[in-house]
Amino acid sequence: MARIVSAILAGAVVYYVWGMLAWMVLPLHNASVNELPDQQSMIDDIRALNLDSGVYVAPYAADSASMTDPNSAYLKNHRAGPIFSLYLRKEGAEPMGMSVLLTSFVIDLLASGLAVLLLLGMGSCSQNYWCRVGFVAGLGVFVAIVGHLTYWNWMYFPWDYTLAFIIDVVVGWTLAGLAIAALIRPGVVVKQEKTPTLPPASTAESVRPKPQAPASVPVVAKQPTRNDAITLLAALQREARFVDIVREPLGDYTDAQIGAAARDVLRDCGSVLDRFFQLKPVVDQEDGAEVPLPTGASASKVHITGTPNQDASTGVLVHHGWEASQCELPTWTGTKSDAMVIAPAEIEVK
C-alpha cells in the first residue's frame, strides 16, 4: 500500500512540475498562442455585449436546416471564414491564483491515481520496468488522440497549437511513468498447485487413515484488523489535516488563506511519509552517471538495458530507482466497529 501511495504522489508531482516547465520555462507553447492586434478594443467590444460566461462559436448554426441550405448565412460564412471559438469568463480571475495551482495539483493527483490503478491490473507487463513506463506513456498518447486531435478535427484548432499540446501531454506522462514505474510493486504471478490424483474407489478404504482424536488446541480470540489504507489516511488527517483541506469548500476562502493552509498540509504530509517509509534511491548516484554493473541483483531491483556485451563492466544510469527503507505503519488496537473511522468527531461541552 505504501508503494502505491508513493507512486501516485510521485506521478502527480512529476507531471505538475513538467506542466510548469512546459508553459513557463520552455518555448513549447509560445509559438502557437498568439496576441490579438489591438486586444483592448476587442475586450471593450465583448464587455459591451454583456455576454454570460460560456463557449461561443462563429459562424453559429441555429438549426440543422441552416447547415444544409446552400443559401443560408451560416453556410456562406462558414465557407468564406473566418471560423473562431470564444471561451469567455465574464467575471475575470487572478492570473496564476493559488486556488488554480492547488486545483491543478489535485487534478494531476487524481489522474496519477487512475494511471497507477490501471497499471496494477496489467499482470505480466508490470514485471518489466520499461513495460510499466510504456503503459503510462501510452495513457498520455490516448489522451492526446481522443482529446486534442478531436478538437483539431472538429473545432479547427491550428495544427501547431494541437501538436504543442500533444507533445506536452505525451512527454509529461512519459516522465510521470518513469517515476511511477520505479515505485510501483511488480505484479506477482501465482502458480496454481496441481490437484493430487485420488486412488481408485476400490482401494480408497485401504489407504484411508484411521481418524485420530483431535488435539486440544487453546482458543485464541482473533484481534480486529484494519486496512492499511485507512491507517495511513488516518495518520495524514491526524498529523496534517489532509482530509479536512481536501473536503473543505475552497470557494469560501481567499487565495492567500488557501496557500497558507496548503503549505502546512504538504509539509506535514511529507513528514508522515518520511517517517513511515523513508524512501531512498536504489543506486545512490545522479542520473547520467557511469556506474559499475551489479552482479547478482534481481531484475526487480536493477534493470539492464541496451546492447548485451559480456565485456562490459559499467553502464550509464538512466534512472536511480526508488525503494523504501522501511514500512512501519501504526498498529491498530481499536475495535472492529471503529476500524473505518479516519478521525473522531469532536464535541465541546459548555
Are 10 and 115 in contact by the 8 Å Cβ rule? The answer is no
pTM of the predicted model over 0.75: no
Each residue's pLDDT tens digit, 9-43: 998 999 989 888 988 888 888 888 888 888 999 99
What's the average model confidence in pLDDT over 275-295? 84
What's the average model confidence in pLDDT over 268-288? 85
What's the average model confidence in pLDDT over 162-178? 92
Distances (CA, A) of 243 to 8, 235, 262: 17, 10, 12
Residue 316 pLDDT class (50, 70, 90 cuts): confident
User: Could you tell me the sign of the dihedral formed by the alpha carbons of 294, 296, 298, 299, in that order?
Assistant: positive
Mean pLDDT, the chain, rounded, equals: 82
Length of the chain: 350
Buried b vs exposed e over 310-333: b needs ≥16 C-beta within 10 Å? eeeeebebebbbbebeeeebeebe
Cell of 53: 460566461
Q: Can you tell me the distance from the alpha carbon of 108 to that of 172, in angstroms, rounded to the nearest whole number?
A: 11
pLDDT at residue 141, rounded to an integer = 94
Q: Can you tell me the distance from the alpha carbon of 166 to that of 145, in angstroms, rounded to the nearest whole number?
A: 8
Cβ count within 10 A of residue 137: 21
What's the average model confidence in pLDDT over 54-72? 88
Residue 52 pLDDT class (50, 70, 90 cuts): very high
What's the average model confidence in pLDDT over 319-340? 84
The H or E element containing residue 87 is strand 84-88
pLDDT at residue 120, rounded to an integer = 83
User: Could you tell me the sign of the dihedral formed by the alpha carbons of 200, 201, 206, 208, in that order?
Assistant: positive
Which of 6-15, 45-54, 235-244 is predicted with the least confidence, judged by mean pLDDT?
235-244
Each residue's pLDDT tens digit, 109-165: 999 989 888 888 877 766 788 988 898 999 999 999 998 999 889 888 989 889 999
Whether pLDDT at 237 is above 60 = yes
Of 210, 131, 141, the C-alpha closest to 173 is 141
Of 338, 107, 109, the C-alpha closest to 234 is 338
**Strand 84-88 with 314-316, pairing:** unpaired
Residue of 262 and 209 predicted with greater confidence:
262
DSSP letter, residue 300: T
Residue of 270 and 211 predicted with greater confidence:
270
Whether pLDDT at 219 is above 80 = no
Each residue's pLDDT tens digit, 189-215: 334 444 445 555 554 455 556 666 666
pLDDT at residue 195, rounded to an integer = 47
DSSP letter, residue 258: H
Which of 86-100, 123-137, 181-195 is predicted with the least confidence, judged by mean pLDDT?
181-195
